[in-house]
Structure 1
Amino acid sequence: MSVPVKEVELDKTKQQFIESAIDNGVLLFGQFTLKSGRISPYFFNAGRLYTSSLLAATAEAYATLLTSSRIPEFDILFGPAYKGISLAAITAVELYRSHGRNVGFAYNRKEAKDHGEGGNLVGAPLKGRIVIIDDVLTRGTAIRESLEMFSNHPEAKVVGVVQLVDRQEKGQGTNLSAVQQLEEEYGFPIEPIIGVGDIIGYLKIKGGWEKEVESIELYREEYGVK
């Protein structure tokens, strides 16, 4: 039985983001071996978000989502090391530039600094309402590590997570995705800029991607969550 993929009308920001990701080799189609061992027909390489235009499009997409989704009010954007650091920073700038929102920005080091100010946390003090900025949430490791750090800061409360891409597929040994597991466990919303349904919707709108759409839909039949 096929797993339904929710296809919605794509807004301009999502269309531009997906198009830019494809044009710049960030969103790729083919055969890619994931950490889970699964062979995926598509792959999102956030490490290739390294040009001014791509970073601008990414920041706009994050900021738009943060001001129009079910993510509640927040005070600080937190970027888990390493990819989350730049993503949270550019989003904080875009929120102020385009939306007049002045929020704090913080991130962690992988290894604690033993000189200067010391510690493994940098930026805004961890207190108030926090939104974690991540790239592709696969197993939720970075989120759980962040939450463990926050346990030493009782004045800090995570109110949501925003990620670049939701693959919307089952984890190992469960019918839930990592996103569904985290939402169920911690009770905060996790919102993606794009999901696999958005990618399929975009490819169908553009046309000429029939083989790619078929491959993604077959993959979803086997690994997708409802």
Structure 2
Amino acid sequence: MTEAKASLIDKMLESGAVLFGHFVLSSGKESDYYINVKKVVTDPEALETIAELIRALTGEKGIVFDRVAGPELGAVPIATAVSLRTRKPLVIVRKKPKGHGTGSQVEGDIEEGDKILLVEDVTTTGGSVLRAAEVLESLGARIAAIAVVVDREEGAEERITSKGYAFLPIIRVSEILERKETVKGQESD
């Protein structure tokens, strides 16, 4: 594990971005832990680390993209930071088309054939990010890859890759839980 990734996980644990208890997720699944990446993306240093980890991972995997997109709300700051880091234009995907003005579901320009790096904060089943991918593709874009800050390892990877998309998780939930146990063990020594 890189130092930047370990530092980000520590920041998530310290900030209360990882909570334990009983939670119902946006997928409808129940869980004994909740990951609120929004808690860390409000910290400029953590957000910068996330953007750099995504930039580095796309470079390492040879992912070429023209634009960075994120579905509202949780992924917007992440997509913005990655856009700034990579100097690629930003696209925001709304959950539903606007009820006024142009009625658009997307903010930002997309040209036919644009390769999009789609980013998400957390994936469980992948449903939300796949809906965003469909919206972008309906406008003529192609998804270069889907990058996620935390994969809960509950089927998103399989579902996303089965659609033919490259899946780039920065952190897997097993790494967070392992790091939590390591830190807990060091504190009790």
Q: Could you say which TM-score interval applies, normalised by the shorter chain?
A: 0.7 to 0.9
Question: Cα–Cα, structure 1 residues 200 and 160, in superposed 2: closer, same or farther, change >3 Å?
Answer: same
Q: Which residue of 1 aligns with 2:49?
A: 57
Question: Cα–Cα, structure 1 residues 158 and 164, in superposed 2: closer, same or farther, change >3 Å?
Answer: same
Deviation at 1:37, TM superposition (A): 4.5
Whichever residue aligns with residue 178 of structure 1, its letter is A
Deviation at 1:204, TM superposition (A): 4.9
Q: Which residue of 2 aligns with 1:34?
A: 24
Whichever residue aligns with residue 164 of structure 1, its letter is V
Give the TM-score normalised by the residue count of structure 1.
0.71
- Structure 1: where are the runs of 5+ without partners? 1-9, 96-101, 170-176, 211-226
- Structure 2: where are the runs of 5+ without partners? none
Give the CA RMSD over aligned residues.
2.5
Question: Cα–Cα, structure 1 residues 137 and 93, in superposed 2: closer, same or farther, change >3 Å?
Answer: same
Whichever residue aligns with residue 60 of structure 1, its letter is E
Give the TM-score normalised by the residue count of structure 2.
0.83
Q: Which residue of 2 aligns with 1:183?
A: 161
Q: Is the 8 A contact 2:97 2:103 kept in 1?
A: no
Whichever residue aligns with residue 131 of structure 2, its letter is E
Q: Which runs of 4+ in 1 moved over 4 A?
A: none
Identity %: 21
Q: Which residue of 1 aligns with 2:38?
A: 47
Cα distance in 2 for residues equivalent to 1:182 and 1:37: 18
* 1:174-204 residue CA offsets vs partner (Å, 9 max, x unmatched): xxx12202211x1111111111332244235
Q: Is the 8 A contact 1:71 1:160 kept in 2?
A: no
Number of aligned positions between the proteins: 183
Cα distance in 1 for residues equivalent to 2:142 and 2:158: 20
Q: Is the 8 A contact 1:126 1:150 kept in 2?
A: no
Cα distance in 2 for residues equivalent to 1:152 and 1:20: 37
Listed as ranges, the matches of 1:1-226 within 5 Å are: 10-28=1-19, 30-35=20-25, 36-40=28-32, 42-49=33-40, 50-68=42-60, 70=61, 72-95=63-86, 102-109=87-94, 110-112=96-98, 114-115=100-101, 119-127=104-112, 128-154=114-140, 156-169=141-154, 177-184=155-162, 186-208=163-185
Q: Which has the higher contact order (CA 8 A, sep 6+)?
A: 1
Secondary structure class of the residue paired with 1:83: coil
* 1:64-121 residue CA offsets vs partner (Å, 9 max, x unmatched): 22222x36211111111111111100111123xxxxxx31211123342633x65222
Whichever residue aligns with residue 149 of structure 1, its letter is V
Q: Is the 8 A contact 1:134 1:161 kept in 2?
A: yes
* 1:23-72 residue CA offsets vs partner (Å, 9 max, x unmatched): 211123x32323345342x321122131223322322232222222x362
Whichever residue aligns with residue 170 of structure 2, its letter is I
Q: Is the 8 A contact 1:71 1:159 kept in 2?
A: no
Whichever residue aligns with residue 187 of structure 1, its letter is G
* 1:120-140 residue CA offsets vs partner (Å, 9 max, x unmatched): 221232441111100111232
Cα distance in 2 for residues equivalent to 1:37 and 1:197: 18
